[in-house]
Amino acid sequence: MVNCPATDYVLNKSMRILLAEDERKVAEHVRAGLAAEGYAVDVAHDGDEAIWLAESNTYDALLLDIGMPHKDGITVVRLLRRKQILAPVIFLTARDDIEDKVRGLDAGADDYLTKPFSIAELLARLRAVLRRQRPQTTNVIRVADLELDLLSHEAKRGEEKIELTPREFSLLEFLINASPKPVSKTSIIEHVWDQHFDSETNVVNVYIKLLRRKIDLPSRPPLIHTVRGVGFALREEEPA
């Protein structure tokens, strides 16, 4: 049983972000900063590509440059909102006059960040818009006697602390938020790694094996289960 539902958590870093930025050096700098914090990031370099990706995938937030080729960021947001794609949007732009800010916000954006900006400020604003989308009541999520603290990044099973790498923590967080439902390898790769990660790689199996060694202690019932033909599930007991 999940003692804390998926809506009752602080920022889940196992999140997928769309970054649309035509300046490739800026895009790579921002992508790297987000990835270092555990976000999975898809990158578009023009408005048409941003629309195609947003229509083809589910994102937790969109980071859009205004001055993109083909379709500018404001046009992109208007089109996506008409199609009921309502993920929060932060504009990243060199334009800093009030009229442009008002146009962007009126088009459906949630925030506005003027270049040049620091990655730290971008991360803080991203956390803020995500919090508004996902109300939280606690920073701790649990399944059975397994507990994750999303602020301190600490994990425990019972009273025993578990040392996890950042990637292991992100994978376990993704599994626990989906619990008791299973998740596919493709879904894990998209949310815990980058979309460009080779879907044929064995990395998911490797990390699941590492997690099992740390989570499924000999003295306790196993929590991580393989669901044949689907993927993996984290739950208190495997159904008959």
Q: Lowest mean pLDDT of 12-26, 184-198, 201-215, 223-237, name the range.
A: 184-198
Domain ranges of the chain: 16-133, 140-234
Give the model's confidence band at 238: pLDDT under 50 very low, under 70 low, under 90 confident, else very high. low
Angle, CA 28 vertex, CA 25 and CA 33 arms, to 5° = 130
* 142-144-147 Cα angle (round to 5): 35
User: What would the two tokens of residue 135 be?
Assistant: 């109300």
pLDDT in tens, 49-102: 999 999 988 888 999 998 899 998 899 999 999 888 888 999 988 776 677 777
| pLDDT tens per residue, range 111-157 | 888 888 888 888 888 888 887 766 554 578 888 889 988 777 889 99
Fold topology of 140-234: Arc Repressor Mutant, subunit A (1.10.10)
Q: What is the pLDDT of residues 176-211, one digit of tens each?
A: 888 888 888 877 887 777 655 565 678 888 999 999
Identify the pLDDT of residue 127: 83
Two tokens, residue 226: 């393989």
Contacting residues for 105 by C-beta, under 8 A, at least 6 apart: 112
Start-to-end Cα distance in the chain:
16
For residue 18, what pLDDT is reported?
94
49 or 10, higher pLDDT? 49
- The DSSP symbol for 97 reads S
pLDDT score recorded for residue 44: 94
Angstrom distance (rounded) from CA 53 to CA 195: 11
101 versus 236: the higher-pLDDT residue is: 236
Task: Judge whether 127 and 146 are in contact, CB under 8 Å.
Answer: no
> What is the rounded CA–CA span in Å between residue 74 and residue 92?
11
pLDDT of residue 20: 94
Q: Which residues contact 39 (CB under 8 A, 6 or more apart)?
A: 13, 15, 16, 17
Reported as a pLDDT band with limits 50, 70 and 90, residue 45 is very high
Look at the block and give the residue holding tokens 């080779």: 198
pLDDT at 3: 42
SS3 for 18-73 is EEECCCHHHHHHHHHHHHHCCCEEEEECCHHHHHHHHHHCCCCEEEEECCCCCCCH
Residue 215 has pLDDT above 50, yes or no: yes
One CATH from 3.30.70.141, 3.40.50.2300, 1.20.120.1200, 3.40.366.10 for 16-133: 3.40.50.2300
